Amino acid sequence: MSTAGLNRSAVDTLDIGWVRGQFPSLQTKVNGQSAVFMDGPAGTQLPTQVMHAIQNYLMSANANTGGAFLTSRRSDEIIAGTRAAMSDFFHCDKDEVVFGQNMTTITLGISRAIARELKPGDEILLTTLDHDANFSPWKALEEKGVVIRQVDIREADCTLDLEDLKRKLNEKTKLVAVGYASNAVGTINPVTEITKLAHAAGALVYIDAVHYAPHGLIDVKALDCDFLVCSPYKFFGPHMGTLYGKREHLQRFRPYKVRPCTEQVPERWESGTQVHELIAGIGAAVEYLAELGRHSDPSVKTRREALTSAYRTTVAHETRLVWRLIDGLQAISGAHIYGITDAQRAAERCSTISLRIGNQHPTAIATNLGERGIFTWDGNYYALNLTERLGVEALGGMLRIGLVHYNTMDEVERLLAALREFAA
Ligand X SMILES: Cc1ncc(COP(=O)(O)O)c(C=O)c1O
Cβ distance to ligand X smaller for residue 233 or 320: 233
* Beta carbon of residue 357, minimum distance to ligand X (angstroms, whole number): 23
CA dist 333 and 201 (Å) reads 47
Side by side, the strands of the sheet bearing 398-402 are 335-338, 352-357, 398-402, 377-379
What does the alpha-carbon distance between residue 106 and residue 320 come to, in Å, rounded to a whole number? 34
Closest CA to 329 of 401, 386, 391, 389: 401
The backbone torsions φ and ψ at residue 284, rounded to the nearest 5 degrees and listed phi first, read: -70, -30
For ligand X, give the closer residue by CB, 179 or 238: 179
CB of 72 to ligand X, least distance (A): 28
Distance CA 96, CA 119 (A): 27
Question: In terms of CB distance, is 108 or 306 closer to ligand X?
Answer: 108
In the complex, minimum distance from the CB of residue 183 to ligand X, in angstroms, rounded to a whole number: 3
Shortest distance in whole angstroms from residue 400 CB to ligand X: 10
CA dihedral 248, 250, 254, 257 (to 10 degrees): -160
Residues in the chain, how many? 424
Residue 41 or residue 238: which is nearer to ligand X going by CB?
Answer: 41
Give me the least distance between CB of 385 and ligand X, in Å please. Answer: 12
Least distance (Å) between residue 135 CB and ligand X: 10
Distance, C-alpha 73 to centroid of its chain = 32
Distance in Å, CB of 345 to ligand X, minimum: 20
For the bound state, the minimum distance from the C-beta of residue 28 to ligand X, rounded and expressed in Å, comes to 21
Alpha-carbon gap, residue 213 to 209, rounded angstroms: 6
Residue 187 or 309 with smaller CB distance to ligand X: 187
- Nearest in space to 109 (alpha carbons), one of 250, 238, 220, 223: 250
Nearer to ligand X among residue 131 and residue 349 (C-beta): 131
Q: Select 183 or 309, whichever has its Cβ closest to ligand X.
A: 183
Neighbours of 94 (CB within 10 A): 15
- What stretch of H or E contains 123? strand 123-127
Q: Identify which of residues 3 and 360 has a Cβ nearer to ligand X in the complex.
A: 3
Tell me the closest approach of the beta carbon of residue 359 to ligand X, in angstroms: 27
Instruction: Tell me which residues touch ligand X (CB under 6 A).
Output: 41, 102-104, 131, 133-134, 179, 183, 208, 210-211, 231, 241
Nearer to ligand X, 14 or 225 (CB): 225
Classify the C-alpha dihedral 12-17-21-23 as positive or negative.
Answer: positive
End-to-end CA distance of the chain: 44
Of the candidates 375, 356, 357, the residue with the CA atom closest to the CA atom of residue 366: 375
